[in-house]
Amino acid sequence: MKRNRRARFGAFAGRSLSARLAAATLGLVIGGSAALADCKDPPGPDVDWTDCLKERLMLDGETLTGANFDGAKLSGSDFESAKLAGASLQVSELVRASFRDADLSNANFEKALSSRADFGGANLSGARLVKAEFLRVSFADSDLSGADMRDGDFLRNDFTGANLAGANFEGAIVPRALFNNANLAGTVFTRTFLYYSRFEGSNLSEVVDLTQEQLDQTCGDKDTKLPPGLTVPVRWPCGED
């Protein structure tokens, strides 16, 4: 009797498990189709391309305000002069992408990955780049005022002539970056790693939490203005890197 009950239970369990697997498979198919349909949506305000493969697209001048590109693969795409205010690009991939002169105000690049991308002249005021990993990216002449760069990795980034007023680099890794002639009024450098970063011609007199130890690892010249209480490092001026 017990064997029969076990057999009946086993058969029921098997059918139940099969049903669950079938439902799960159906859900994946339906979900996959929905995700695929989203990725086919045309570019426009509030478009949702979450986790979509969108490499090497020509989107220059497009209006993409409030768009969701979280987890999207956007490498090689051209967003020059595009309107991306408030867009979300968290955990996106932006290798060799161009955002020249784009409006990225209040955009979210948290944990985004980029290499050799161009943000020259772009408006990134109030943007969030927390824990972003950007290698050899150009922000020359861009507006990063009030940007949140905490705990990001910005190796060899070019901030030449950029507006970094009020930007927060707390805990960020920023070695061999260029800050020449950048606006650094109120820029926060709390625990920022600045090894061999260049500040020739820059005004550091209003930066926040820059220590002598940090300054000694940087490069500057006779035109670099120092914060009160700090002295010119012995290594200045540095040679070519």
Peptide bond before 237: cis, by omega within 30 degrees of 0? yes
pLDDT value at residue 27: 37
Q: Is 210:230 a contact under the CB 8 Å cutoff?
A: yes
Tokens of 41: 């949506």
**The pTM is what?**
0.84
pLDDT value at residue 40: 93
pLDDT value at residue 239: 86
> Dihedrals φ, ψ of 197, to 5°?
-75, 145
Per-residue pLDDT of the chain (241 residues; tens, 9 = 90+): 434 433 433 443 344 434 433 433 333 333 443 344 389 999 999 999 999 999 999 999 999 999 999 999 999 999 999 999 999 999 999 999 999 999 999 999 999 999 999 999 999 999 999 999 999 999 999 999 999 999 999 999 999 999 999 999 999 999 999 999 999 999 999 999 999 999 999 999 999 999 999 999 999 999 999 999 999 999 999 988 7
Q: Which of 136, 107, 102 is nearest to 121 (CA)?
A: 102
pLDDT value at residue 171: 98
Q: Where are the domains of the chain?
A: 1-40
Q: Where are the beta strands (DSSP E) in the chain?
A: 113-115, 133-135
pLDDT value at residue 241: 72
CA–CA distance, 59 with 55 (Å, rounded to integer): 11
CA–CA distance, 130 with 217 (Å, rounded to integer): 23
- Looking only at the bridges linking them, the beta strands covering 133-135 and 113-115 are parallel
pLDDT value at residue 3: 42
